[in-house]
Amino acid sequence: MAVGMPGVLDSESADRCMKCGFCMSMCPVYGVDHNESHVARGRNMLIRMARDGGLATDASYRDSLSACLLCGRCEAVCPAGVPSPAIAVGARSKMVRERGLGSSQRLLYRGMVKHRSAFAKLVRGLSWLPGLSNRKGAPVRHFPDVVAAFFGGMSLPRLSAPFLSRRLPQRIPPREGEIVGQVAVFTGCIFEFFLADAGSDMLLFLAELGYEVSYPHDQTCCGLPVLSGGDLDTAQAIAKRNIEIFSRYEHVVTGCASCGGHLKRYESLFGSDDPWKEKAAAFARKVEDFSEFLVKRGHLAPRRREENRRDSESAEKAGGKPRVTYHEACHIKWKQHVDEAQRKILLGIDDIDFVEMEGADSCCGLGGYFGIAHPDLRLAMLAKKVDAIRRSGADIVATSCPGCLLQIMDGLRRENLPVRAMHLAQLVRGGY
Ligand code: SF4
Ligand code: SF4
């Protein structure tokens, strides 16, 4: 990935764009709004013009920069190999360095995301208030409204209580028998705060397979939300912290497609003369997606564990076998290129009916800062995804990205669709 010097626009790469337009057929944003300044071809041209002094970096320029999900689809098909997502990030970062961050972004990135333990303490305190968390209490009301203001109107599930790092220790021994290996797990913020059941399933499943699982509680956010907002300095500080924390482990697994795609590209955050570049590259080589880790080591047919079955509602509805469809996260397919692993795993679960949805790899529309800046476009993409889920006739939609899960849960709630959204780790552990 050729980002070039951090914080400096990679003008050489932007100049390689030959305006062929291949990216237009792939771009999910262009697919809903047909606005050429919102697709790689048009944006690359605007960025070059701004760099050369022929275009004001005004509101419409900033609109163009923010209207990219950083999904990587355009880069994957570009015949000239133009790293358009990285170019967009470089341009956002340049804007942030020139103009500074807005107050809400500064609070979110530097006050909350960068100091996750302090943020966790604040949220943990809030989680004791009735109605805010998964503890028994009244339905959630005010807190999601506040959070929704930060996330472009997206409704979030209730906070996990307790958070994941309060449920499981930093070392989880293999459940039984000999140790087959050792692995460290990077969980990510969504598993920690919102989907702790799913995160717990991932960690425990690895232990059940015979791995000694290390779960460092001092890990922090991967930094992708911060980078997508153009705050490269904070993204670098976060990356350094995670690289140091995981330096003592040989294998690092994550169940978050977005985190994984970013962790594997940490190297691109640092300039060629920065000693952190090599450290980041060494770290990235150790990172594997949960599904990739399982498939590479032959864990294709997960052992069914009847005691882990927590809800048979959907199974009964489907006459014994729940019908499961799969949403393919952009950061799995286009950034990590490990998209077949998830299907192999799903096909290895013998008591589900796996059914492909139309456009399984179409973007759900979340995209970090994109979803905040362009809630209308986020919802347009989400509506397409929910419609495909509906037409599949599935009882469950599975994915390997907690971010996509939040987005899809939001869409299912909006449409009142009786389909459950689950992480792959929940399925392999039999929790359906
Ligand atoms: S596919 Fe690549 S070269 Fe073609 S217009 Fe898009 S960015 Fe430019
Ligand atoms: S990264 Fe995705 S959203 Fe951005 S221009 Fe490329 S295809 Fe479109």
Name the pTM for this structure. 0.87
Q: Is the CB of 45 under 6 A from ligand 1?
A: no
In a domain, 26, yes or no: yes
- Report the CATH number that the domain containing residue 320 is assigned in CATH: 3.40.50
pLDDT tens, residue order, the chain (432 aa)? 333 444 444 667 889 999 999 999 999 999 999 999 999 999 999 999 999 888 988 999 999 999 999 999 999 999 999 999 999 999 999 989 888 777 667 666 666 666 666 666 666 666 555 555 554 444 344 455 555 555 556 677 778 888 899 999 999 999 877 899 999 999 999 999 899 999 999 999 999 999 999 999 999 999 998 898 888 989 999 999 999 999 999 999 999 999 999 999 999 999 889 999 999 999 999 999 999 999 999 986 545 544 444 444 444 554 678 999 999 999 999 999 998 899 999 988 878 899 999 999 999 998 877 888 898 999 999 999 999 999 999 999 999 999 999 999 999 999 999 999 999 999 998 877
Domain membership of residue 160 (yes or no) is no
CB crowding 62-99: b at 16 or more within 10 Å, else e: eebbbbbbbbbbbbeebeeebbbbbbbbbbbbbbbeee
Q: What are phi and psi of 212, to 5 degrees?
A: -85, 120
Range(s) of the domain holding residue 401: 307-428
Ligand 2 mutation pick, 34, 70, 82, 227, max ligand atoms within 8 A of CB: 70
> 44, 72, 99 — which closes off a domain?
99
Domain boundary among 38, 71, 99: 99
Nearest CA to ligand 2 atom 4: 68
Give CA–CA dist 68/160, Å, rounded: 30
3-state helix, strand, coil in the chain (%, to 5): 55, 10, 40
- Pocket of ligand 1 contains residue 47 by CB under 6 Å: no
- Among 80, 99, 118, where does a domain finish? 99
Residue 417 lies in a domain: yes
Nearest listed ligand to the Cα of residue 39: 2
Residue corresponding to tokens 């690289």:
243
Q: Is there an atom of ligand 1 within 6 Å of 282 CB?
A: no
Give the DSSP letter of residue 134. S
